Structure 1
Amino acid sequence: MLKKLSLSFCSLLLVLFVGASHDSIAQTATLRGVLIDSVGMPIRSAIVQEGKNKQNFYLTNDKGGYILTLPADSTITVFFSHPSFSPRAFEVRLTENEIKTLDARLFKQIYHLKEVEISGDKTQQELRDKPSTVFVKGDDLREIPVGYGEFTQQLVASGALGIASNNELSSDYSVRGGSFDENLVYVNNIEIYRPFIARAGQQEGLSFVNTNMVEDIEFSSGGWEAKYGDKLSSSLNIRYKKPVDFGGTLEASLLGGSLTLEGASKNKKHSAIIGARYKSTEYLLSTLQTQGEYKPRFGDVQSYLSFDISGKDKYGKTYIDAVLSYGANRYSVFPSTRSTNFQTGEGINNLTIAFQGKEQLDYDTFQGGLKLIHTFNPKLTSNLITSAMITQERERSNLESGYRISDLEDLGGINGNVTERGLGGEFQYSRNTLKGNVFIIENRNEYEHNHFWRTEVGFQAKFEDIEDNLNEYKVKDSADYVISVEDQFRAVNEVSSQRYSAYLQSTYLSPSDLHRITVGLRGTYWSINEEVNVSPRLQYAFRPEWKRDIIFSFATGVYYQPPFYREMRRPDGSLNLDLKAQGSMHFIGGIDYNFEQWGRPFKLISEVYYKQMWNVVPYDVDNIRIRYSGENEAEAYAVGIDTRLSGEFIPGTQSWVGMSVMSTKEKVDGDPRGYIRRPTDQRVTFTMFFQDHLPNNPTMRMNMRFMYGSGLPFGPPNNPELRNSFSGGNDYMRLDVGFQKIIALNKQADNPSEEFLKNLSLGVEILNILGNNNVISHTWVSTYDGTQYAVPNTLSQRFFNVKMILHL
């Protein structure tokens, strides 16, 4: 009897359970779809959640897909969220057993939190506390239209404080009145060099930095810490990617192409990224004033490798990183003719030049570094870094030219020459070679006393060997009569030296997070002049307890630049082995303000600065070639204000504007004029980068870069009395616009083989869309009566570039 009751009871429970289950199933519905970003790429590991029900959620798969079971016949709020994207919410109401598809698009989020790890051991708050420092992600740099992904032009357009460039063909840039030789450049803590003997931007080829390999950059316009090296103007720290998955980029355009591949081991302990680039600016150079047969061929291969060789020690971690690069650059030109119309006080004139001969520049450069990182415990980390640079450069030219200066009736006339004002000729000869070897060994250590106090100490030894064979001259004549032999240099210089430096610095953060102060000391020694320099440096940031997110900062310090080979070489080719280090004292005050406008994040940075310089080595600039006097014979100063505003002017995209006002002057011994403008005295610069997309189709994009710089001073060659006396007519203004369509290739991929391709970007760039005749230098020519005219040498004209980028 009990057995029968038990069976009956169990049967009843089973019927009730099945019925309840049936009712439950009948009262649900299914929501499914794909989560993508602004360019149509799937977002994996995003959370799709039913309202506040934390028990009912789904993590999107590798294709961005999700499936979520929801109650039927009820209005439900579905949340989509991911740490890197702005969250979104949708209200849905599904009927019983309904299966509905809801695809959603998320846009990148920009955080203003106190502690968000974004750059190795640095936090966003720590970066904000650094005066004159701007942090830019590699993804944002790659959006800037610059023709062939020239990193320097992207850096200048990024709105970094105080930076300017007047030559889109060159990797040159100036920071707050300094020359390019006054800038530090690091890639993963390895110092980078550039070629020495290039005369013009079109000869330079590829800059070292491969933008497709960049994770982020940290750029300081002054007042940087003691742990960074010995220059006067700026410090640029570039961090290459450390990939965690397979990926790559294939890029092709009318100006060249590149291939970048990246990947990681299955356990994510080892990674590699390799990039190869090829650049040919033949089409672009055809827009220059001088017509001829240009043959520019530039290429390089780079890699960044990282290996985790840690043992089983709980705290001890060991890594080996390697950066390797080889660049081969070949430039030759057979110029034929040039015709330039220019304005003088007497009217419009024309300069016509016919050429015969050839210019050639070849250089091969190897740069590489090996870094051993060991974490002894959570508080102590040590880095041992070795790096080397080997360069071989060769310049050959045999170039004869004849010129004629004529008056013109008007610019639009054909054969409008009415008066011949001068005839002349010139012969240029050069046979220059340079070999350079630099080897560096360095140790950097960091000790974290606690959350509020960190100490860093390091030592570096650098060994340099330079061998320079200089043989060049220029002959000018008029009506077959030799007037002069100018710019004659003949020298054989060999320099071997050792440099030693050390630093100690400590950073303190107050427990309330209101104050951060870094105090450091740096010392240097150079074996050539046996000079010892000591540089105290200080950075301070104050964050008041206001509702507004504002940081006030101040930095000061002494910065020395011991001479390198180029500063030592006098105009006649001889070396000044007693040349002392140039010195500079920085004073910088600034504000960093994060705010929201239209419900979107923005950042305003503004700084004022003053730099006093002594033991200055004066120089003149012709195109990109810097010729130093080789003597400590001047003092100088720079004063100015920089401002940068960045944010989401268009939702989901980063744009920015930057403006600088500056004055830099120098007083050269023996010059009765007193303080005169320096070659880099550009009073006003303005940069803007703007991104936009179609409102309902973010895959259709537009990028715009605008740059303006007021004119630089100039003067006739070999005339100290008129050095840097003239200006006007050489303002730099350029507008580049890019349009692109991004096509997602694996959005609906079900076959794993199809996931190899991610998206395809097809674009058109219009470079220098306004067709401005930007002046880079002047050619000085004489008329029959001895009058000298400065004929402007202009840069590239309007150019249409077609670009394709395939992401793997």
Structure 2
Amino acid sequence: MSFLVVFFFFTSIAFAQTATIKGTVKNEEGKPIEDVSVIYNQKGTTTDSNGTYTLSLPANTEVTVIFSHIAYTTLNKKVKIPKNRNLFFSPKLKIKIEEIETVVVKDKKDDAQGIDKVPIETIKKLPSANAGIEGTLKNIGLGVSGNNELSTQYNVRGGNYDENLVYVNGIEVYRPFLVRSGQQEGLSFVNPNLTQNVKFSAGGFQAKYGDKLSSVLDITYKKPKSFGIGLEASLLGGSLTAEGISKDQKLTAILGARYRNNSLFVNKKDIETNFKPNFTDVQTYITYQFNNKFSLDFLGNFSLNNYKYTPVSRETKFGTISDPKALIVNYRGKETDQYLTLFGALKGTYLVNDNLKLELTSSAYNTQEEEHYDILAFYGIGNVNADFGSDSFGDVEFSQAIGSQLDHARNDLDALITNIQVKATLKKDKHLFEFGAKYQLEDIKDRIVEWEVIDSAGFSLRPPNLLPNNDEPYNSYTGPIVPFTSVRATNNVQINRISGFGQWSKSTYINDTQLWFNLGVRAQNWKVKAEGIEEKGHTVISPRAQFAIKPDWKKDMLFRVSGGYYYQPPFYRELRDSSGMVHPEVKAQRSIHFVLGNDYSFKLWNRPFKLVTEAYYKSLTDVNPFTVDNVQIRYRAENNAKAYAVGFDARINGEFVEGTESYFSFGYLKTEENIDNQGYIARPTDQRLKFAVLFQDYVPNYPNLKMYLNMVYNTGVPGGSPSYADPYVFQSRLKDYFRSDIGMSYVFKDAENTTNIKWLENFKEFSLGIELFNMFDVQNSITNTWVRDISSSRSIGIPNYLSGRVLNVKLKIGL
């Protein structure tokens, strides 16, 4: 409360005889422009990343406000504002064009920082089984890959899902702990209908971002400019978005509610189930501008995922053309999971003057997760009729019972993460200084009761690493029956973290060559405290640097290099080993990044195009080895490995069809690890090749009829082994992943298309479309089910297939 009182005191004194002009500066396409100079009488400010500005003026005095930018024409505006009043003025600036092979000179600040801007309108249109920002990143993001269309998680340049930072309006957000498969996830935290800007960096990012090894996704939710309602509905669920602004334009609010049901996808898999998912979330972003100095923002989220799964039977064909086989399973039992997430954050922003900005943010995240199941499976291997001339071609003719398996879990987790953070931004001449400090407390309560009993040919299988081994049916075993896997643990863990950063940026010119620098450093200290375990503390320091140069060439080229030391202090998941025991002594994993990039903007067919290429190398030490089963990551909780990742990414985007934006991407990656000095082997995320296409088109004679094609090909990752297996023995890879989704929509009305149809008069937007997911019906697999046969002492890997071909209908309305 004292924080607010101080703000009100200073602002009331400083603005007794002043007025304010504020607004958003945009280009002719309606996109915000950053770093526009807004001045009068050599006093002024610049627009932020959202294009917004606020400038104090003398009251009751006519002054000329000048809007200028190196890439746009200058605009002069004469104003005279009464005392203590606000004038909202949002101009549009025209692009300044120089006659150098008709290349348009544009702002390159984000490009220089190695930050990729993902167009939000493209995200909303992309046909995807899990539509949203993360799904688009897998398609067009440099270095991003994913081989599970039901999951919002993604890998970046050899890292796993836990190595990616996600921010919403500068506030870090988290994902659930216990989720095992993509079909359990439901919805991502980020709501694309609330989003204004999407920025992404695949490595070599600045010190102001947090401590992770791989990437940062920086989301900005929008501040409404007017009242509006949006509605989307499809066979997969729906969403409702409402936004508005108060009469005095001080209060803005946007609310989004979403519902999703994955039954349409699961019913296309090879498992017959009674599947009742229910994924719901509600988010809001509220801002209040007390005056032109102080504003308060609130971000809130409620999410509830109910997952009820009752498998009935399964028939999966595998093997070769000459020797086809089938796995036949009959089930008893069910699984009931629930994930309840609550999140709230409050941020105060105070503009001390035109050059100094202070921010104070506090947030709390609570996740309550339950994972309860008892599933009994009776399975056998059958021969498939491969005679093309037979009436029973493809049918299972003979099935040999192999055994049964009982899986049990009663896992409960309650995690509360609270933090408070302060940031300062100082501009001085062409220098930009940024500082920040943060305190975070993580309180984790976790109970794990999980076991698996396997019966093969009437004999109970013992764990593979437990002596003596099974020798039935040749010699009887008279010892006690032991579950094949068993985990029992109860953990109460508290982690205290103190972190901070400081960085300096500068943009300058040498003749007509533009240079940009960034130097920064982060530091973090954390202490892990758990019942019955000695408290451990650790400290890491992370220096980082970036440099970019835009030569004075006829070709529009930008070169950049970035790197530094990147640490990932362990979260609770990384401290817990496969037996459920917590290890406070686990150190932060370290990665040295080196990224070299080039952006080339050019014109083809008299239309704009851009080619982005990046080469990278990462050297990792103190690596905590892990396995991946669907989307579940299990760590060894040891720093007993070293690793590396090397690769190359390229993407070209532009108007392949005039008036639309399309993307073609390619990626090469090689990542290996050396565990306990046994030699280098492929990491679980070693996805060597990636090809992706996002193509947009329309019918020339009917431009309102639009088409969107989303196509991804990834080579298989090492994931064909059981989680308990020695990775040096099992290096088999999953099948290559190929998926193609296509969507067509007819736009009756939107901002660019008007209509004379009377019943559409009250709509701002109205469109109807169809989507065909996995249109070639490719059987992609994410993991293997391992069937053990004691009589032959072998384990047979049966692929777990993802979703097949699915048709969806989609309606979008805006009021």
When the two structures are superposed, what TM-score results if normalisation uses the length of structure 1?
0.82
1:296/1:46 Cα in 2 relative to 1: closer, same or farther (>3 Å)?
A: closer
Amino acid at match of 1:778: N
Conserved 8 A contact 1:535-1:558: yes
Q: Could you tell me how far apart the structure 1 residues matched to 2:665 and 2:269 are?
A: 29
After superposition, the C-alpha distances for 1:297-355 in whole angstroms (9 at most, x for unaligned) are: 01000011111111xxxxx6111111110001100111001001111598211100000
Q: Which residue pairs with 1:766 in the alignment?
A: 772
Among 236, 239, 242, which residue is 1:255 paired with? 236
Alignment check: 8 A CA contact 2:720 2:733 kept: no
Following TM superposition, by how much is the alpha carbon of 1:409 offset from its aligned partner in structure 2, in angstroms? 3.1
For residues 259 and 148 of structure 1, what CA distance do their matches in structure 2 show? 17
> Could you say which residue in structure 2 is the equivalent of 1:29?
none
Query: 8 Å contact 2:168–2:218 — kept in the other structure?
Result: yes
Would you say the 8 A contact 2:667–2:691 is kept in 1?
A: yes
Task: Supply the distance in 2 between the matched residues of 1:221 and 1:591 (Cα, whole angstroms).
Answer: 14
Distance 1:455 1:790 in 2: 55
Q: Is 2:27–2:93's contact at 8 Å kept on the other side of the alignment?
A: no
- Paired residue total: 688
Aligned pairs for 1:190-209 (under 5 A) are: 190-209=171-190
Query: Which residue in 2 is equivalent to 1:246?
Result: 227
- Please say if 1:188 is aligned against 2:187: no
Q: How many angstroms does 1:524 deviate by?
A: 0.5
AA aligned opposite 1:527: K
Please tell me whether residue 168 in structure 1 is matched to residue 149 in structure 2: yes
User: Is 2:732 aligned against 1:727?
Assistant: yes
2:458 to 480, 483, 490: 480
- Superimposed CA distance per residue, residues 186-206 of structure 1 (whole angstroms, 9 cap, x where no aligned partner): 010111111100111101111
1:328-477 alignment runs, 5 A limit:
328-343=304-319, 347-410=323-386, 413=392, 416-417=395-396, 420=399, 422-450=401-429, 452-477=430-455
Q: How far apart are residue 722 of structure 1 and its match?
A: 4.6
Q: CA deviation at 1:721?
A: 3.9
Amino acid at match of 1:423: I
| Corresponding residue number in structure 1 for 2:296 | 320
Mapping 1:602-617, distance limit 5 Å:
602-617=609-624
- Pick closer, same or farther for the CA change 1:718–1:599 going to 2, 3 Å: closer
Separation in 1, partners of 2:432, 2:594: 24
CA distance in 2, matches of 1:318, 1:696: 52
Partner of 2:159: 178
Q: C-alpha separation between the residues in 1 aligned to 2:403 and 2:518? A: 61
**In 2, are the aligned partners of 1:763 and 1:803 still within 8 Å (CA)?**
yes
CA contact (8 A) 2:662 2:695 kept: yes
Task: Tell whether the 8 Å contact from 1:251 to 1:805 is kept in structure 2 after alignment.
Answer: yes
1:776 pairs with one of 758, 777, 782: 782
- The reply on whether 1:566 has 2:573 as its aligned counterpart is yes
- Alignment-mate amino acid for residue 766 of structure 1: L
Cα deviations by residue, 1:234-255 (Å, 9 ceiling, x for unpaired)? 0000111111011221010000
- Give, in angstroms, the shift of residue 421 of structure 1: 5.0
CA deviation vs aligned residue, 1:419-453 (integer Å, no higher than 9, x gap):
54551100000000000000111011110001x21
Residue 411 of structure 1: how far off its partner (Å): 8.1
* Cα distance between partner residues in 1 of 2:436 and 2:417: 19
Counterpart CA distance in 2 for 1:734 and 1:748 is 35
- C-alpha deviation, 1:782, in angstroms: 2.6
Which residue is equivalent to 1:496?
494
2:238 & 2:277 partners in 1: Cα distance? 14
Answering whether residue 122 of structure 2 is matched by residue 136 of structure 1, we say: no
Deviations 1:583-622 (A, max 9, x none): 0100010101111111111111101000000110000011
Query: Is the radius of gyration larger for structure 1 or structure 2?
Result: 1
- State which of 644, 657, 665 in structure 1 corresponds to 2:651: 644
Structure 1 distance, partners of 2:577, 2:801, is 28
Q: CA deviation at 1:268?
A: 3.0
Secondary structure at the aligned position of 2:183 is classed as helix
What percent of counterpart residues are identical? Answer: 39
CA gap of 1:565–1:114, structure 2 versus 1, over 3 A, is farther
Residue range with higher mean Cα deviation, 220-229 or 134-143: 134-143
Residue in 1 aligned with 2:695? 690
Root mean square deviation of aligned Cα: 2.5
Q: 1:631 to 1:565 in 2, by over 3 A?
A: same
Give the aligned partner of residue 228 of structure 1: 209
Letter in 2 for 1:426: Q
Instruction: Give the C-alpha shift of residue 776 in structure 1.
Output: 0.3
Match of residue 19 from structure 1: none
CA contact (8 A) 1:422 1:782 kept: no
User: What amino acid is aligned across from residue 676 of structure 2 in structure 1?
Assistant: D
8 Å contact from structure 1 (residues 500, 526) kept in 2: yes
Asked if the contact 2:719/2:734 (under 8 Å) is kept, the reply is no
Deviation at 1:360, TM superposition (A): 1.2
Residue identity in the other structure for 1:246 = F
Q: CA contact under 8 A between 1:558 and 1:583: conserved in structure 2? A: yes
**Runs of at least 5 residues in structure 1 that lack an aligned partner in the other structure:** 1-42, 48-108, 116-122, 311-315
SS at match of 2:448: strand
- The aligned runs of 1:30-45 (5 Å cut-off) are none
Contact 2:461 2:484 in 1 (8 A): no
Is residue 790 of structure 2 the alignment partner of residue 787 of structure 1? Answer: no
* Residues 634-687 of structure 1: per-residue CA shift (max 9 Å, x gap): 0000000010111111111111111100000000016xx400000000000111
Partner of residue 120, structure 1: none
- 1:416 offset after TM fit, Å? 4.4
Q: Distance in 2 between matches of 1:415 and 1:551?
A: 57
AA in 2 matched with 1:488: S
Question: In 2, distance between residues paired with 1:411 and 1:329?
Answer: 46
Task: Give 2:34's aligned residue.
Answer: none
Deviation readout 1:739-792 (Å, 9 max, x if unpaired): 000112898799999754112110000000010100100011133312221110
Other structure's SS at 1:156 match: helix
Aligned twin of 1:678: 683
Q: 1:551 to 1:343 in 2, by over 3 A?
A: same
Partner of 2:710: 705
Change (3 A) 1:411 1:772: farther
Tell me, yes or no, if structure 1 residue 542 matches structure 2 residue 549: yes
Amino acid at match of 1:544: P
Deviations 1:465-490 (A, max 9, x none): 00000001000002332223222100
Corresponding residue number in structure 2 for 1:757: 763
2:539 — aligned with what?
532
Alignment of 1:226-305 (within 5 A): 226-305=207-286
Q: 2 CA distance for matches of 1:378 and 1:114?
A: 30
1:497 and 1:592 mapped to 2: Cα distance?
A: 42
**1:288, distance to aligned residue in structure 2 (A):** 1.3
Residue of structure 1 in register with 2:533 after alignment: none
1:635/1:244 Cα in 2 relative to 1: closer, same or farther (>3 Å)?
same
Classify the secondary structure of the residue corresponding to 1:139.
Answer: helix
Q: 1:748 to 1:125 in 2, by over 3 A?
A: closer
* Structure 2 residue matching 1:527: 3-state secondary structure: strand
